[in-house]
Chain A
Amino acid sequence: MTTESTTRPPRRRWGHGKLKRRFAAATALGAALVLTGGIAYAFSETTGTVNEAQAQPDTALVAKGEQLYNAACITCHGSNLQGVQDRGPSLIGVGDAAVYFQVSSGRMPLARQEAQAMRKPPLPQFDPETEEGRANLDALGAFIQANGGGPETPMQTGAALRGDDPARGGQLFRLNCASCHNFTGVGGALSSGKYAPALAEPTEEQIYTAMLSGPQNMPKFGDRQLTPDEKQDIIAYIKSVTNGNNQVGGNELGGLGPTTEGVVIFIVGLTSIIGFAMWLGAKN
C-alpha cells in the first residue's frame, strides 16, 4: 500500500464552462481529425464511432487508453462502450473514477460472472504500484472519461487523501457506510451472495473513487452529498481503524463484536480457570 503523499503528475483538466467546453471541443475535434489521419489504419474499427465531440485535449492519452481498452475490456463492454448483453454494462458516463477503482483493485477484468466482482491482484499492466501501471490506468481512465464524462479521480494520492479529523470521519462513516461495511470496516454480507468488502486492503485512492463511482451495489456518494473534505475524513477514519490500527486492547479478534470475544473467553478463560482450580486442589 502506498503511503507517501505524492501529487499525481499534473494532468490537464478541462474547464467546466460551456464556452470553454465548446472551444475545447472544437480544438479537440481538429486535433483528433489530424491525429486520426495518422493512425486511422490501426483504429479504423472504432475511432469513427466514439464520440469525439466530447473529447479532451490529450488525444494521445485517449488513444493509448483506447488501445488498452480494446485489448482488455472490449469483449464485455463492447466496441462503443455500450455494454454487451449478459456480459458487461455500458461504460458511458461512469468516469475515470470507476475505471481506477475497478481496474486498480483487480475487479476488472472480471474472472467470471457471479454475484459480484471480487478484489484480486490487478493485471500487471494496470498495477497501481508500478509507474507503468499508473500511466496505463490514467490512459484508460482518460479514454472512458472522454466518452460521456463522469466522476473523476482525485488530484491527490496516498496519505494526502487522509483528512485531519478522523473523529468526524467516524461519525460520517457510521451514518453512511457502517450499515454495510461494519463500524470497523471489516465488511459484511448483503443479499444473494453479494457482500460489502472489508476496507483494510483498498488504498486511499480506491476508497475515494469507490465513494464517487458507487461500484457494484454500493450507492454513489457524489461530491455534493459528501464533500471532498468529508470523504477525506472518512478515509482518515477507515485508515485509523483497519490494518491493526484499532487494537488498543490487544488482539481485535476479527473486529466482529461479542461473538468471537465470547468464544475466546469461554474456551481460553474457562480452561485457564479450570487449570488453576486443579492446581489448587492437587496434592503435592
Chain B
Amino acid sequence: MSATDTPGRPTQEELDAMTPEELARLAGTLDDVEVVHNAPRWPVKGTRAEKRAERSVATWFILSALAALGFIVAFIAWPHEYVAPGEPGYTLFSYYTPVVGFLFGFSVLALGIGVIAYVRKFFPEEVSVQQRHDGRSDEVDRKTILAQLASAGKSTDIARRKLITRSAGAAAGIFGIGLGIAALGPLVRNPWKGGDDAALWHTPWRPENGETVYLRRDTGILEEISRVRPEDMEPGSMETVFPFRESDRGNEEALLHALRASDAPVMLIRLRPDTPTVKRQGQEDFHYGDFYAFSKVCSHLGCPTSLYQAQDNRILCPCHQSQFLATEFARPVFGPATRALPQLPITVDSEGYFVARSDFIEAVGPAFWERRP
C-alpha cells in the first residue's frame, strides 16, 4: 500500500456496487493474494456422505462433552483418600488418578480432534498464492515517517522542558532500582554475619547455656523423645541421631528444627568389637568405645552419606560415589570428597544416655572460601 493510486483500487462508487463476495475477493487482491483453485467440499448439498461427515464431527464434540462431564463427576465423587493395599476400596482408590487424568485429557483431545475434523471435512479445498514483498519500505514512507516523528517530538516541547524530563527520568529510574532490589535482594545473604558465631561455623549440636545435648532418634513421631543409649545398638549397626535438649521438650518448633536442620543429622555407628581403628590426630577421645559419630553431610557437596556398609565399614555417598572409612575417622578413600567427615565428640552421661561433649570442632558439609582445610 505504498501509494493511493495503485491500479485496481476501486473508487467509492465501485465499492458501493460490489457484492460481499466481490469485496472478499478484493481483499485478497489488495494483499496480492491470488486464489488458484477453490472448490467447495460438498458441491451437492444434503447428500448422505455429507450427513455422515457432519455426524462424525459431532461425535467427537459429544465425546468431548461426555468426557468433560465424567471428569467433573469423577473429580468430585471418586474416592480419592488413601486406602492401603488389601483394604476394601483399594482398587477403586488406585484408579482415581488415571480416571481423572484420562477423562480430562480425552475431553481436551476430542475437542481438538473435532475442530480439526470439521476443518478438514467442510472447509473448501483451496490453493492460493501470495506475492512476497522483498526489500525495505519505499523512499516516501521512510522519509515521511521520520519527519512525522521529529515534528511530533518538537510540537510536544519535550526538548525544552528539562525539569519534566529530569524528574520523570528520576521517577522511572528510582522505581527501576527498587524493582532490581526486590528481585536481587533475597539472593544477597551474609552467611558470615556474627563472625565466629556465624551459622556456617556451628551446628544445632552446639551446647547453649551449658545445657546437655543428648542424641535422640527419630521414631516418626515428633513428640516421642527417644534418647539413645549404648545398649540400644547392636555391634555392626548404624543409626541416624539428632540433637535434643531438655528445654526443647514440648516445643514443637524447636524439636522440628533439630530434626530437620540440614547440618544436624549425625550417623552413630557401632563397630564390631575389636575392629582395628585409626584415630585422627587431636580427636583420639571423640569416640565412646566402639561408638563413632560422624556428620551425615558429605564433605564434597553435602549429600546425605548414609549408605553404611557394615561388612567393610565403608560409608558411601550416593551422589558422587565418595567412600569414607568408618574405622579411620571417616577419611575419604574413594571418589571426589577430599576431607574426612567431621566427627562429633560423644560420651555417656551418668544416666547412661549418649551426650555430645561439644559441637563439631570443624564446619560440616562442603567447603567454602573461609574454611581452613
A, B bound: yes
Bound complex: CA of A198 vs CA of B215, how far in Å? 31
B304 touches A249 (CB 8 A): no
A217 touches B240 (CB 8 A): no
Q: Which residues of chain A (191-243) have a CB below 8 Å from chain B?
A: 191, 194, 214, 216-222, 224-225, 230, 233, 236, 239-240
Q: Which residues of chain B (312-329) have a CB below 8 Å from chain A?
A: 312, 314, 316, 318, 321, 323
Known contacts: A236-B84, A248-B96, A248-B97. The answer to whether A194 contacts B309 by CB under 8 A is yes
Q: Select the stretch in A40-48, A103-111, A169-177 that faces chain B.
A: A169-177
Residues of A near B84 (CB, < 8 A) are 166, 236, 240
User: Which of A171, A188, A219, A224 makes the CB contact (< 8 A) with B308?
Assistant: A219
A259 within 8 A of B: no
B208 within 8 A of A: no
Tell me, rounded to whole Å, the shortest Cβ–Cβ distance linking B290 to chain A.
13
Name the residue of chain A whose CB is nearest to the CB of B335. Answer: A191
Known contacts: A172-B220, A240-B84. The answer to whether A214 contacts B312 by CB under 8 A is no
Residues of B near A220 (CB, < 8 A) are 234-237, 310
A214 touches B234 (CB 8 A): yes
A168 within 8 A of B: yes
A224 touches B96 (CB 8 A): no
A188 touches B237 (CB 8 A): no
A278 within 8 A of B: no
B219 touches A224 (CB 8 A): no
Bound complex: CA of A248 vs CA of B101, how far in Å? 11
Residues of B near A169 (CB, < 8 A) are 220
Bound complex: CA of A171 vs CA of B224, how far in Å? 14
A85 within 8 A of B: no
A268 within 8 A of B: no
A61 within 8 A of B: no
Tell me, rounded to whole Å, the shortest Cβ–Cβ distance linking B40 to chain A.
14
Bound complex: CA of A219 vs CA of B304, how far in Å? 17
Residues of A near B217 (CB, < 8 A) are 225
Residues of B near A239 (CB, < 8 A) are 85
Taken residue by residue from 151 to 181, chain A's Cβ proximity to chain B (1 for < 8 Å, 0 otherwise) reads as: 1000000010000001011011001100110
Q: Which residues of chain A (245-271) have a CB below 8 Å from chain B?
A: 245, 247-250
B44 within 8 A of A: no
A219 touches B236 (CB 8 A): yes
B334 within 8 A of A: yes
A284 within 8 A of B: yes
Bound complex: CA of A171 vs CA of B259, how far in Å? 12
Known contacts: A175-B218, A216-B311, A284-B120. The answer to whether A249 contacts B97 by CB under 8 A is yes
A225 touches B237 (CB 8 A): yes
Interface size of B in residues (CB-CB distance below 8 Å): 42
B263 within 8 A of A: no
B98 touches A168 (CB 8 A): no
Name the residue of chain A whose CB is nearest to the CB of B303. Answer: A179
A190 within 8 A of B: yes
A280 within 8 A of B: yes
A247 touches B234 (CB 8 A): no
A171 touches B220 (CB 8 A): yes
A179 touches B220 (CB 8 A): no
Residues of A near B234 (CB, < 8 A) are 151, 214, 220-222, 225
B98 touches A250 (CB 8 A): yes
Name the residue of chain A whose CB is nearest to the CB of B268. Answer: A225
B225 within 8 A of A: no
Name the residue of chain A whose CB is nearest to the CB of B323. Answer: A191
A221 touches B237 (CB 8 A): yes
Bound complex: CA of A38 vs CA of B136, how far in Å? 115
B306 touches A217 (CB 8 A): no
Residues of A near B139 (CB, < 8 A) are none
B240 touches A176 (CB 8 A): yes
Tell me, rounded to whole Å, the shortest Cβ–Cβ distance linking B49 to chain A.
13
B307 touches A225 (CB 8 A): no
Residues of A near B231 (CB, < 8 A) are 224
Q: Which residues of chain B (139-174) have a CB below 8 Å from chain A?
A: none
B316 touches A247 (CB 8 A): no
B85 touches A168 (CB 8 A): no
Residues of A near B240 (CB, < 8 A) are 175-176
A225 touches B94 (CB 8 A): no
Residues of B near A179 (CB, < 8 A) are 304, 306-307, 318
Bound complex: CA of A172 vs CA of B323, how far in Å? 24
Bound complex: CA of A284 vs CA of B42, how far in Å? 14
B232 within 8 A of A: yes
Tell me, rounded to whole Å, the shortest Cβ–Cβ distance linking A82 to chain B.
16
Residues of B near A166 (CB, < 8 A) are 84
Residues of A near B334 (CB, < 8 A) are 191
Chain B residues at the A interface, C-beta cutoff of 8 Å = 84-86, 93-94, 96-98, 101, 116, 120, 125, 217-221, 229, 231-240, 304, 306-312, 314, 316, 318, 321, 323, 334
Chain A residues at the B interface, C-beta cutoff of 8 Å = 151, 159, 166, 168-169, 171-172, 175-176, 179-180, 188, 190-191, 194, 214, 216-222, 224-225, 230, 233, 236, 239-240, 245, 247-250, 279-280, 284
Return 18 A-B CB contacts under 8 Å, by A number. Answer: A151-B234, A159-B86, A175-B220, A179-B307, A190-B309, A190-B316, A194-B309, A214-B237, A216-B311, A217-B312, A219-B237, A222-B232, A230-B219, A247-B94, A250-B97, A279-B116, A280-B116, A284-B120
5 pairs of A and B residues whose beta carbons are closest in the complex: A171-B220, A220-B234, A217-B309, A224-B232, A245-B85
Given contacts A219-B236, A247-B94, 5 further A-B contacts (CB under 8 A): A168-B221, A172-B218, A221-B234, A224-B229, A284-B120
